[in-house]
Amino acid sequence: MTPSPAILALSALGLQTALQIKSGMPNVIIYGLNTRVEGADETFENFGETVRQLYQTGHTIIALCSAGITIRSLASVLENKGAEPPVLAVADDGSTVVPLLGGTTGVNVLARRIAAILEVSPAITTSGELRFGTCLLNPPPGFELKNPDSAKTFIADMLAGKTVRVEGNAPWLADARLPLDDNGELLILITSDDVVAGENELVFQSLAAVEHERPRGKLSVIGLGPGNPDFMIPAVKHALQQAQDILGYETYIRMAGSFRPDQTIHATDNREEMQRARHAFELATTGRSVVMISSGDPGVFAMASAVIEALHESGNIAWHEVELEILPGVSAALAAASKSGAPLGHDFCIISLSDNLKPWEIIEKRISLAAEADFAFAFYNPISKPRPWQLPRAIELLRQHRRPDTPVVLGRDIGRPAESLRTIRLADLTPEQVDMRTVIIVGSSLTRSFPKTGGGEWTYTPRWYGTKPAS
Ligand code: SAH
């Protein structure tokens, strides 16, 4: 068995970073400097001695201190390149991850994984990996490089301009930028047979048996619905119960209910979606059951797309083997629509008014053409402080195609304690009535409203179009 990776923390700040790394890599052991760090799994007195001993006993080392100190401490025991464990230096505030040693034993893969947990970019310096977008020396679990000693020359040959052909199935190379050529002088061979590598060859043996020994991780991308647990589908409740790791915005995590002490919560702030998606896969590939929370439906302006895109872009076979499922939820438009009647009862479209991830011109075009084609609308992300003028412009476009008395439903915090629902006319719609927690439904030419007993209105769009069929 490979010994557990060791994280060495030399300060209280370092311990915080160590704990964050451990949240994504549960099998690590945190060693804390006895005079400075409280609350580590183990303590140590002398950094140099400890790091050398860990190195010589084959432990992966993640040192929360400078690269210089780490290398200097190991200098006297540095061994032959093929045999050493991965060694990394990580800034104690978690801002940088520097792979130092262990190129053939996966240090760059580990650096990427830790960087994903810390949501930073790893400082990869290996020229072959940078140029070719992959580290040939570190295939994913399930593959073994049979002739690592030849790898250095092989990569140097590619850097010098030689071309390469690939025989066999190497999914992790799919997105690599290798100098491929069917008549390449160099050969990458992937085989399940135990063959001896020839000159100018790299041979990867696929190890199906080893692969099956690892527990298969699971990633469920779930939608909570608008907020009220009664609107959450049972499969989502089940996934939340089964989860070992829960990822999502703090608000959504709170909305999801209470968790057990054995469940690890990873409350994410407003970081980039793709990074959060990669973090989820990194956790799941360790064999864990991971749940990624979105509000409403995870496929509607939420995490499911980012998760699947991250998988599509990844050549890491371990990610592709994670059991991935997307569990739907009641999206804000549907929740608000049902409260007001059935305004989306005929053809409709959903448009986000946020131009953060798409150009405003396309939003205008879609609104104009959909309005002209007489769709009903649901608008998400309608307005925010940095985006004050977009909604007024959208209202202007809608008014070019809709009567002033077109019903408009404003649903705010639907399914949550502060829920409010108002039905007004398009002529009366102003940006002040709307915020980021509101979904706006704008009717088609046939959408109509009538008073409800006890106050409020029912709004609906009939099932027919044009003239009402005889009944
Ligand atoms: N995945 C979510 C949408 C995320 S985009 C879903 O399917 O519902 C965020 C936008 O959704 C908000 O700006 C708001 O327009 C809308 N929204 C989300 N939850 C809402 C709720 N409970 N009530 C009203 N609008 C909501």
Condensed to tens digits (0 to 9), the pLDDT of residues 162-176 reads 999 999 888 778 777
Q: What is the rounded average pLDDT of the residues 47-57?
A: 92
Residue pair 104/136 in contact (Cβ under 8 Å)? The answer is no
Q: How far is the CA of 198 from the centre of ligand 1 (A)?
A: 59
Residues of the chain with CATH 3.40.50.11220: 1-125
Residues of the chain with CATH 3.40.1010.10: 214-330
How many alpha carbons lie under 13 Å from residue 312 in its C-beta half-sphere? 7
* Mutational pocket test of ligand 1: of 438, 440, 442, the residue with most ligand atoms within 8 Å of the beta carbon: 438
Atom of ligand 1 nearest to the CA of 294: 1
Could you write out the DSSP letters of every residue in 256-275? T----TTSEEEEE-S--HHH
Condensed to tens digits (0 to 9), the pLDDT of residues 370-410 reads 999 999 999 999 999 999 999 999 999 999 999 999 999 99
Q: Whose CA is nearest to atom 13 of ligand 1?
A: 381
How far apart (Å, rounded) are the C-alpha atoms in residues 290 and 100? 30
The radius of gyration of the chain from alpha carbons, rounded to an integer in Å, stands at: 28
Q: How far is the CA of 302 from the centre of ligand 1 (A)?
A: 10
* Mutational pocket test of ligand 1: of 224, 228, 301, the residue with most ligand atoms within 8 Å of the beta carbon: 301
Residue pair 102/85 in contact (Cβ under 8 Å)? The answer is yes
How far apart (Å, rounded) are the C-alpha atoms in residues 359 and 11? 46
Q: How far is the CA of 458 from the centre of ligand 1 (A)?
A: 22
Condensed to tens digits (0 to 9), the pLDDT of residues 82-124 reads 578 899 999 999 999 999 998 777 888 899 889 989 999 899 8
Question: What's the predicted TM-score (pTM) here?
Answer: 0.61
Q: Please name the CATH architecture into which domain 214-330 falls.
A: 3-Layer(aba) Sandwich (3.40)
Q: Please name the CATH architecture into which domain 1-125 falls.
A: 3-Layer(aba) Sandwich (3.40)
Q: Whose CA is nearest to atom 6 of ligand 1?
A: 296
Residues in contact with ligand 1 by the CB-under-6-Å rule are: 226-227, 294-297, 300-302, 331-332, 336, 380-382, 411-416, 436-439
Q: Whose CA is nearest to atom 11 of ligand 1?
A: 380
When pLDDT is cut at 50, 70 and 90, the band that residue 81 belongs to is low
Q: Whose CA is nearest to atom 2 of ligand 1?
A: 296
How many alpha carbons lie under 13 Å from residue 15 in its C-beta half-sphere? 16
SS3 assignment, position 68: helix
Atom of ligand 1 nearest to the CA of 411: 24
For 333-460, give the CATH class: alpha beta
